[in-house]
Amino acid sequence: MSRIGKVPVVIAEKTEAKVQENTVTVKGSLGELSFSFRPEAVKVEVVEGSIVVTPQNEESHALWGTTRAVIQNMVTGVSEGFKKSLEINGVGYKFEVQGQKLILSIGYSHKVEMQVPEGIKVAMDEKAKNIIHVSGIDKQRVGQFASKIKAKKKPEPYKGKGIKYVGEHIRRKAGKSGAK
């Protein structure tokens, strides 16, 4: 029995949801998202201001909680949005945002340019120059793009140079302290 699947998804104010055949569409103040589910596995209904997901058979319990979680993320995304913050550490390391391009200076002989996907916004932090915010309405796409940025220069364990999530702890190593 799925504990997550049992809980109905509450539709936020100024957000509307509709189910047509095997597609759930959620429209809110920030935009519109849709998701195609498997009708032979789960049944999705809009009931009195909430979305209820029920399994169709015993084998579909794995998709029950997953489908409910995806729909919850859609409702949250179109009403509030999602945001990931990245921090860059290192001498001369920096972010630059030019339109729909993100330019990274991360210790290579060249600057690394990344095209920002459609529906994703990248903005510098007002106070700290070494922090960047990736935001959007689709949780999966925001997380995926933030992960791609981080993969360009993962933090190393000796000095901590590289790109990491804000609040992420990097395990540090001592270095050459054993030489006598």
Per domain, the residue ranges of the chain are 3-79, 82-165
Q: Is the dihedral of CA 32, 36, 41, 44 positive or negative?
A: positive
Digit-coded pLDDT (tens) for 35-48: 999 989 999 999 98
- Closest to 12 measured CA to CA, from 50, 66, 53: 50
In a 13 Å sphere around the CA of 26, the CA atoms on its Cβ side amount to 32
Q: How far is CA 177 from CA 82, 144, 155, 157, 172, in A?
A: 43, 38, 21, 15, 13
Please tell me the CATH superfamily of domain 3-79, with its number. Ribosomal protein L6 (3.90.930.12)
For residue 113, the model assigns a pLDDT of: 95
Structure tokens that stand for 75 in this block: 């409702």
Looking at this protein, which amino acid is placed at residue 32? E
Q: What is the DSSP letter of 63?
A: H
* Residue 180 pLDDT > 80: no
Q: What is the DSSP letter of 93?
A: -
* Residue 177 pLDDT > 80: no
H helix intervals, 100-180:
139-151
For the 82-165 domain, the top CATH level (class) is alpha beta
H or E stretch including 136?
strand 131-136
Q: Which residue has the tokens 């539709």?
A: 11
* Residue 163 pLDDT > 60: yes
Residues 78-103 as b or e (16 or more Cβ within 10 Å = b): bbebbebebbbbbeebebeeeeeebe
Task: Calculate what percentage of the chain has a pLDDT beyond 70.
Answer: 98
* Residue 179 pLDDT > 80: no
